[in-house]
Amino acid sequence: MSPTDRVHSGEQRLWRAYEPIHAICYFHPQFASTMSETGLTGWWNGYFAGRAAPLGPTPPQVVTSLFYGFSPAMVARAVPKIWTRITPEAAIEARLDAAERVLAEHADAGSRDELRRVTDDLERVIDTLSFDGRALASAWYSVPRPTSVLQRLWLAATVLREHRGDGHVIAATATGFTGLEAAMTHIATGQVSRRVIQENRGWTDAQWESARRALLDRGILSDEQTLTPRGTALRDRIEDLTDQLAASSVLLSDTSGGAIDVLTSLARALVDRGAVPASNPIGVPRP
């Protein structure tokens, strides 16, 4: 599958529709302020607590492994300290509360019935998925479904997002990439800068240089820090496998047509109104 074909595949269309709905938790200030109301201050503390909460108070090595891309030292600065200041249950509640506030602000008043129908569809899809080897997605799947439709929608988008993300980690590690090396190949496409990734993932210059040399030795990066033909082929292979691992006939049939249109409309509103920046370090696209 070519990159152009991939953009228009069913799984890619669905991902572009639900990813911005999940990603409000990374960019909208409501999430940090809601965490602060519980007593947990510091943006990165809130990030690690919020995303890892369904796993329970796991060691930093587990979070580093599942989040794939953060330096162990950066994770260890937050985990397990955060669990002395907030419980996992409170962190989940804070995330869901913030999600409802943000989505209520951006969802059109007349769309609630449509969003309820789409949420029902997404939850039926999720119930058919296999969670084998997908620890982060299965952790979020274990969260009891709220009664609020907007909280349910955000939770469903989160389960789908982490399910796809777990599959992406499987695909990247099968190619032999560490989290840092995978990030460096992303940088080499020109979609994000080294400064953004290095600052937000906690890697030292020495670690960066070691990973760069490894990719040079494998013929994945050129001396100019761009992807070689081999590097481009590997990234395409990872993206194709990620789509394959995320897709299912049930998922695509149940969320085709009108459902994707409803999700896309909300996702565009979130991006256009600034709840998710149009240019962002995690590559969330405007659908």
Tens digits of per-residue pLDDT, 5-39?
444 467 888 899 999 999 999 999 999 999 999 99
Q: From residue 123, how far is each of 39, 165, 191, 247, 254 by CA, in Å?
A: 32, 18, 32, 15, 10
pLDDT-based confidence at 93, cuts 50/70/90?
very high
- The 8 Å CB, 24+ separation contacts for 204-209 are 204/71, 207/71, 207/180, 208/180, 208/184
156-185 pLDDT per residue, tens: 999 999 999 999 999 999 999 999 999 999
Question: Does the pLDDT value for residue 267 go beyond 70?
Answer: yes
**Residues in CB range of 106: below 8 A, 6 or more apart:** 266, 269, 270, 273, 275
Q: What percent of the chain has pLDDT over 70?
A: 93
pTM across the whole model:
0.93
Which has the minimum average pLDDT: 81-85, 228-232, 246-250?
Answer: 246-250
Q: Mean pLDDT across the stretch 198-209?
A: 96
Structure tokens at 38: 């519980």
Is the distance from CB of 157 to CB of 22 less than 8 angstroms? yes
* Average pLDDT taken over every residue of the chain: 91
Question: Does the pLDDT value for residue 147 go beyond 80?
Answer: yes
Q: Give the whole-angstrom CA distance, residue 73 versus residue 203.
A: 8
Q: Per the omega criterion (within 30 degrees of 0), is the bond before 285 cis?
A: no
**Domain-by-domain residue ranges, the chain?**
9-272
Question: Does the pLDDT value for residue 1 go beyond 80?
Answer: no
pLDDT of residue 109: 61
Residue with the two structure tokens 């302020």? 33
Residue 133, Cβ neighbours under 10 Å: how many?
A: 12
DSSP 8-state symbol, 250: H
One-letter amino acid of 79 = V
**Residues in CB range of 60: below 8 A, 6 or more apart:** 72, 75, 76, 78, 79, 80
Q: Which of 17, 43, 11 is nearest to 270 (CA)?
A: 17
pLDDT-based confidence at 58, cuts 50/70/90?
very high
Question: Does the pLDDT value for residue 65 go beyond 80?
Answer: yes
Structure tokens at 259: 């459902």
Question: Does the pLDDT value for residue 257 go beyond 60?
Answer: no
Q: Which of 233, 226, 237 is nearest to 188 (CA)?
A: 226
Q: Mean pLDDT across the stretch 85-91?
A: 97
Q: Give the whole-angstrom CA distance, residue 238 versus residue 168.
A: 7
